[in-house]
Structure 1
Amino acid sequence: MDFRQLRYFLAVSEELSFSKAAQRCFISQSAISHQVSKLEQELGTSLFERSTRVVKLTPAGTRLKPIAQEVLSLEAKAFAAAKEPRNRIRITASMSFAPQSLAAIAHVRARHPDLDIEFVIKNFTDRIEAVSAGDADIALIRGEVDRPGLETLELGVEDLLVATSNQHPVSAFSTVELSELAPYPLLLPPRHSQVLIHSVVEDAFVEVGRRAQLGPPIARDHAAILDVITNPRAWTVLYASTVAEVPRTGLCLMRERRNRLRVPVSGIVRTGAADAPGMASLVHALRRTVTADSSAPPAPPQQAGGAPDER
C-alpha cells in the first residue's frame, strides 16, 4: 500500500466515478482502476461495488475512507514538519498568473523587505503536489481543490471573454448574450484537458435554458484564436488575463452580457499555513491584483490573442 493508491481510492470514493476521478487526478481511467485494484488485492477485500451504471463503496471501503483521509493529512504534515523554517514564501503558478503575481510580490516586498518571495512555474498537477509536499507555500489555480491537508483561499474571479472572428455575425457588439451564441459552434480543447472551462460554459448555458453547440475539439498543436479566425462562424473563450499576450488581427473580444462566464481564482495552501509570516499580506495583495485584472476592459481586437489556458 502506498500514498498514491490511497489518494486514488479517495478520489473514486468522493466522485463515485472512475472516469471523473481519473480526470481529477490527471491520469488515465485504466491507470486509476489498476491502482485501486492493487490496493484491493493487498487489503484482501473489495472497496467498491462496480457496475456499468454505478460505483458504490462497500462496507470495507466506507470504513477505509476516513482512515485514508487521516493518513494523507499526516503525510502532508510530515513533509511540512521536515522543512527547515525559512523567511520565504514560494508561489507556484502557470505563466498566465505572472502579471498578477509580480504586482502582488512587489507590494509585499515593499512592506516586508526581509521576506524572500519566489515565483515558480509548474503545471496544474505539479503545483498541487508541491504545496502538499511542502516544496511550495501557495499554488495559484483557477477552480478549487479538495484534498486532505490542503485548504482553498478565495482570491477572486476571472472573466472568460468571448472571442470570435471580426467577421462573425455577433462581432459588432462589445457584449453578447449566451443565447445569441447558441447557434454557433464553440471551439474548445477536449473536455478532459480543460474540465474547468467546459464546466463553466455548460453551467452558464443551463442557466439560460440553452445548450452550447460544441465544434470539433481544438488539437494540442492548434491555437483557439487561429481556429476561430479561419472559421468565421465559430467562437471560443479566453481567460481575461491572457488576451494581450499575443498580438493578433482579425479577432473580436466581447464580455458575456450577464457576467455568467466567470471562473474562481484560488490560492491553495497547506492547512493552517495562511497564518505564516507575510502570507496574509501576500493573499491580500493577490486578491487586489486578481480583482483589478478581472475588471479590466477587453483589449482592442488588434492587441488581443491567446488561447484557452491551463489552470
Structure 2
Amino acid sequence: MEMLHLRYFVAVAEELNFSQAARKLHMAASPLSQRIKDLEHELGQKLFERSTHKVALTPAGQALLPLAKDILEQVNAIPWRLREAAKPARSTVFIGMPAGVHPALRDKVKLLEDRCREHFDLKRWPGTTADLVEGVHEGRLALTLARLPANDPALAQIEVMSERLGAAVPADRFEGRTTVKLADLTDLPYMAAPSEATPAYFEQLDTALSAAGVKKRLKLPSTGYSGMAELISSGMGFSISMLDPSSPMHGYKLDNVTILPIEDFAPELRTGLLWRTDRTDLNELIEQAKTVFQEPIMV
C-alpha cells in the first residue's frame, strides 16, 4: 500500500466529493477515482458508496479513516521529529506571516525574535492563511500569524489583533463624507479579492453584505489588491479594507480611493497566533510567544 493512496483516501473522505478532493490534491478527478479503486482492490473492502449525487463512507471506510489520519500524522511528523533529535544548539525556525500584517504585530514578532535569540533563529515565512496553517500542522513552520477563523483541532490559538474594517469607495462619489451607510453602497458592485488571497472571514463578510441588501458583485479572478484599487478609483465598485491608516493595505490606495467607516455595519478582521501543542521541541519559543502576544491589539 502506497502512502499516496492513504492521502487520496483521506482527501475524498473529508470532502465526500471526488471533484473537490481532486482540486485539493491538484489532480484530475478520473485518476483520483482510479487510485481509490486500486486501494479498495488491495484492501478487499469497498470504502465509498458512490451514486450520481452522493458519496458516502462505507463501514470499512469509516473504520479506515482514523487509522489513515493517524498514519499520515506520524509520517508528516517525521521531518520535525528528526530535527528535534538532531537539532543544533540554536535552531532555525519559521513563523508564518499572512499578507498585510499590521506594523504593531510586526513589532511584536521582532520582540519575539529578540527574546528567543539565544536558542532560536526565528525567520518569517509569507503565505495565505490556509497555507500557513497547513505549514504549522505539518511541522514546517513553528507557529504562524493567521486571519481568523482558522479551524484546525490540532493547533492551539490565541487572538492577537482586531482591526476595524471600512468601505473602500471612489473618493469623488463620497466627497465631504466621513462615513457611509450600507444603503449608500447598494448600487455599487462589491469586489472581493480572488479567493486564494482572501481570508475565510471575507466569505462571511460577503454573506453579511448580501443579507443587508448589498447584492451586486464584481468578480475579479485574475487581479489582486492593486487591480481592485484601479477599479474603485474608476468608480466601478467598492471593497472592504482596514480603516487604520498605518495598515500596509493602505499602500494600495490610489488618488480617487478613500476608506470610510460604515455607520450601520461594523466588520473587523481578527488575527490569531497558532501553534502545535505537541511540539515539545518548541516549548520555550511558544511560552515566549504567549507572553509577547498576550495583550490583543485593537485598532
User: Do both share a fold (TM > 0.5)?
Assistant: yes
Counterpart amino acid of residue 73 in structure 1: E
* Contact 2:47–2:59, Cα closer than 8 Å, also in 1: yes
Q: Distance in 2 between matches of 1:257 and 1:91?
A: 36
Does residue 31 (structure 1) correspond to residue 38 (structure 2)? The answer is: no
Alignment of 1:107-186 (within 5 A): 107-109=111-113, 111-112=115-116, 114-124=118-128, 126-146=131-151, 149-168=154-173, 170=174, 172-186=176-190
Q: Distance in 2 between matches of 1:282 and 1:70?
A: 28
Q: Distance in 1 between matches of 2:166 and 2:31?
A: 40
Q: Distance in 2 between matches of 1:17 and 1:285?
A: 42
Partner of 1:56, secondary structure, is strand
Change (3 A) 1:220 1:66: same
Does residue 188 (structure 1) correspond to residue 185 (structure 2)? The answer is: no
Partner of 1:186, secondary structure, is coil
Equivalent residue number for residue 42 of structure 1: 39
Equivalent residue number for residue 214 of structure 1: 217
Alignment of 1:227-306 (within 5 A): 227-230=231-234, 232-239=235-242, 241-246=247-252, 248-257=254-263, 260-273=266-279, 276-286=283-293, 288=295, 291-292=296-297, 294-295=298-299
Q: Distance in 1 between matches of 2:112 and 2:29?
A: 41
Change (3 A) 1:115 1:253: farther
* Contact 2:168–2:240, Cα closer than 8 Å, also in 1: yes
Equivalent residue number for residue 302 of structure 1: none
Counterpart amino acid of residue 282 in structure 1: A
Equivalent residue number for residue 73 of structure 1: 73
Gaps of 5+ in 2: none
Change (3 A) 1:57 1:153: farther
* TM-score (normalizing by structure 1): 0.73
Equivalent residue number for residue 92 of structure 1: 96
Q: Distance in 2 between matches of 1:81 and 1:284?
A: 25
Change (3 A) 1:226 1:132: same
Larger Rg: 2
Counterpart amino acid of residue 172 in structure 2: Q
In the TM superposition, residue 166 of structure 1 has moved relative to its aligned partner by: 0.6
* Contact 1:165–1:250, Cα closer than 8 Å, also in 2: yes
Q: Distance in 1 between matches of 2:70 and 2:105?
A: 33
Partner of 2:49, secondary structure, is strand
Q: Distance in 2 between matches of 1:180 and 1:5?
A: 53
Change (3 A) 1:283 1:248: farther
In the TM superposition, residue 198 of structure 1 has moved relative to its aligned partner by: 4.4
Partner of 2:74, secondary structure, is helix
Equivalent residue number for residue 54 of structure 1: 54
Percent identity between the two aligned chains:
20
Q: Distance in 2 between matches of 1:52 and 1:193?
A: 33
Q: Distance in 2 between matches of 1:198 and 1:175?
A: 21
What is the number of equivalent residue pairs in this alignment?
286
Partner of 2:101, secondary structure, is helix
Partner of 1:96, secondary structure, is coil
Offset from partner CA, 1:197-233 (integer Å, 9 cap, x none):
541223323654x353212425337611111111x15
In the TM superposition, residue 83 of structure 1 has moved relative to its aligned partner by: 1.0
Partner of 1:238, secondary structure, is strand
In the TM superposition, residue 249 of structure 1 has moved relative to its aligned partner by: 1.3
Change (3 A) 1:68 1:143: farther
* Contact 1:155–1:267, Cα closer than 8 Å, also in 2: yes
Partner of 1:141, secondary structure, is strand
Counterpart amino acid of residue 212 in structure 1: K
Offset from partner CA, 1:246-267 (integer Å, 9 cap, x none):
4531111023445543344233
**Superposed CA RMSD:** 3.5
* TM-score (normalizing by structure 2): 0.76
